[in-house]
A and B are shown apart, each in its own frame.
Chain A
C-alpha cells in the first residue's frame, strides 16, 4: 500500500505497536520510532530498523524519517507534550521530504459526551473541563496552521475509545475489576464510541494513501452502536465478575471529590515518572488487592472521575460517514470479535481468564 515506507512515531504505545505489527506482518516497510532505547522491547520482536528520537528534537526526527514517505504521529504524553511536539514533528517531516503526516487525534476533541448531531464540522471548544481534550484541539489547530505554510500534507484521525490488546480500555479495565475500582456510572447505559484497534489501523492505512483528503479530519469508529456496559461485559465475564453486580454510581458522584488513587494518578509528579515506573506502581497497587473475593457487591466506593461520568452518560453515536465517503473506511472487525480478541490477549498477558487453560 505504501511505497517508500511509513514511520511510526510512538511505536511503543499500544496503537503504534499494533500499527507496526500490522504493517510489518503484511510485508510493508515500516520504521518504528521511539523516545528511548528501552522502548524498543515490543518493536524489537521484529528485526526492524528501529530508531530513537524525541518528539521535540527536529533534527533527530528528521534523520529518523529518512527513507519514509509518510509518518504516523501516535505520540502520547501530557498536554505540553501533545501541543509542543507538533511544530518539531512537522518541521522534521518537511526536512525529510515526507509526503504526508497522519496525526492521531481523538474524538475527545468533541468532548466525552458530545451533543447530538456532532460530527467533524462541529466547532471545537478549547474551554473543556478536561485538559487532554483542549490539548488535542490546540494540537490540531497548530498542525493546520503549519500545513497552510508547509509542504507536507496532513490528515487527522479522531478515534473514540480504542480498545483491544494492550489498551487501557481492555487491560486497564481488567485491572480496575481486579482491584475493585470498576464501576458503571448510571448503569453504563451511555453510548460507548468505541473502535477496535484493528479498525483504527485499517483507517490509518487508508488515510495514508487516500487522494484529496489533505487537511481533513475524520472520526473513526466501530459499526455497531454499543453501551459501556457492553464494553465491560466480556472483560468482566472473562475474569469471573458479574457485570450486573458492578457499582452504578450516579454521575453526580464525580463532583464529590476525586479519590486518592485518582489524585495520585493525575498529579504532575506522578506523570513525570517514566511510564514503566507508573505501570509498576499501578501494578503494585493492583497486587495489593490480589486475592480478594470477586464479588462486586463487596467493593468499596468506586472511582468516578469526571471523564468517566461524561463517557458513561454519552447519548450520541459519533458518525464515521465522512471516513467512509472519503477514505473508503468500513470497519473490518466486529465489536464481538474485537472483544473476543481482547479477552484472548488478557489471557496471553497473564490475567486470570476463566476457562482459558
Chain B
C-alpha cells in the first residue's frame, strides 16, 4: 500500500480526550498499514500519557515536550489544549518536523498567523485538523453548491449542539484566563470552517452569546455570504436536531452534523426530496457505477493523517494551516462584537403574585 521505504516517525503531544478517542485508533490503523510509527508521546499528566501509550508499547513516554523533539520525529501531532498550540507548533517546526495541529489552530488570529509564518520560515508543512472537510458528504455538498445544483443560494440555517459531554479533565476548559473555550471556539470552529470552505468568507453581521463573566454555552451568529443571509446557532446546553440547511432558488441541501456519507437533497418543482448516500465510484466499469459506501467517521479521521505520511496519497486534500486563518478571524470578530443573547426569563423575581 505504501510507497514509503520505512514508516514515518510520528510523535504526539497531548494525550487527552481527542487523542484517546480519535487519534489513537487512527494511528493504530496507519501503523498497521506500515505508513507510520508512533515514536514518542508527551503529556504532563502521567495517567493520560500511560493510558494513551498502552496501544503503542514501543513509543517513548516523555514528560517534557523538549524530550519529545529530541526523538527527531518527522511529523508532530499537536493535540494539546489550544493555548499551547502556538508555542509547541513553532518549536516543532523549528526542530525540523512537519506539524499537524488539532483544531482550533490557535486561540486567536494573531497566534495562527504566527504559526503559519513559522512554517513558511522553517520550510516545513503545517496542517490543521479540520476533520469535516474529509467527509465524503461535505465534499459532495461543496461540489454541488459550486455547480449550482440548488440554484442561486438564498439562505443558510445551521443548528448544532446539545448537552456538553466532551470528557474534559479539569475546570480549565471553562475558566477565562486558563485557556477556556466557549462553544463558538469549540464546535463553531468546525461550523464556520465548513461554511467558509463551501461558500467563501462571510461577513459577520451580528454575534451574541450567553457568557456572563465566564465562557458561552450558547451563541448565535448572523452572517452574510454576499447577499445571502446565514444563521448559526450553537449550544452546549439543550439538544435540537443537529442540522445544516442550505436553501437555493431551485432546492435545498440538508446535512446532519457528523454524517460522513449522507445528506438530503430537494429539487424544487416536485414534492420529493432524496436521502443521498455517498459511495465511492466503482473503478474498472464501462458504465458509471457505485462502489462501496464512502468512508465512515473513523476512516475519515485516519484519512487526514494518511495523506500526510503516504507519498502516494491525495496530498491535495491536506488542509494547510493558512486555510484556518479566515475562521480564526471570524471568531475574533464575533467575540469582539459580542452582545448578550436575549434571555428574558432571567429577570429577577417580581412582587408576590396577588
- Chain A interface (Cβ < 8 Å from any Cβ of B): 21-22, 25-26, 36-48, 50, 52, 164-166, 171, 198, 201-202, 222-224, 274-277, 279-280, 282-284, 286-287, 290, 330-334, 337, 341-342, 344-345, 348-351
Contacts and interface: CB of A to CB of B under 8 A. Distances in A.
A47 B213 contact: yes
B341 interface: yes
Interface stretch (B114-122, B156-164, B330-338): B156-164
A350 B345 contact: no
B235 interface: yes
Interface residues of B, number: 48
10 contacts: A37-B169, A40-B173, A44-B171, A165-B345, A198-B349, A276-B164, A280-B163, A283-B239, A333-B350, A345-B343
Nearest to B218: A348
Closest 7 CB pairs of A and B: A44-B174, A276-B165, A287-B241, A283-B239, A41-B164, A330-B352, A341-B345
Contacts of B243: 287, 290
Contacts of A52: 171
A350 B233 contact: yes
Given A25-B212, A276-B164, A348-B218, 5 more contacts: A22-B348, A25-B348, A38-B166, A44-B180, A45-B215
B175 A47 contact: yes
Nearest to A52: B171
Contacts of A275: 163
Interface of B: 159, 162-171, 173-176, 180, 210-218, 233, 235-243, 256, 341-346, 348-353
Give chain A's interface secondary structure class.
helix
B238 A332 contact: no
Given A40-B174, A46-B213, A349 B345 contact: no
A272 to B, nearest CB: 15
A11 B343 CA distance: 19
B353 A333 contact: yes
Contacts of A40: 171, 173-174
Contact of B165 (A274, A286, A334, A337): A274
Which of A166, A171, A337, A349 has the most chain B CB within a 10 Å cutoff? A349
B48 to A, nearest CB: 14
B176 A42 contact: no
A52 to B, nearest CB: 7
B238 A166 contact: yes
Contacts of A26: 348
Nearest to B342: A348
A38 B167 contact: yes
B353 A330 contact: yes
Contacts of B351: 332
A349 B352 contact: no
A153 to B, nearest CB: 24
Nearest to A349: B238
A46 B213 CA distance: 5
Most chain-A CB neighbours within 10 Å: which of B348, B349, B351? B349
Contact of B214 (A45, A223, A276): A45
B341 A348 contact: yes
B348 to A, nearest CB: 7
Nearest to B172: A37
Given A44-B217, A45-B211, A286 B241 contact: yes
Contacts of B348: 22, 25-26
A46 B171 CA distance: 12
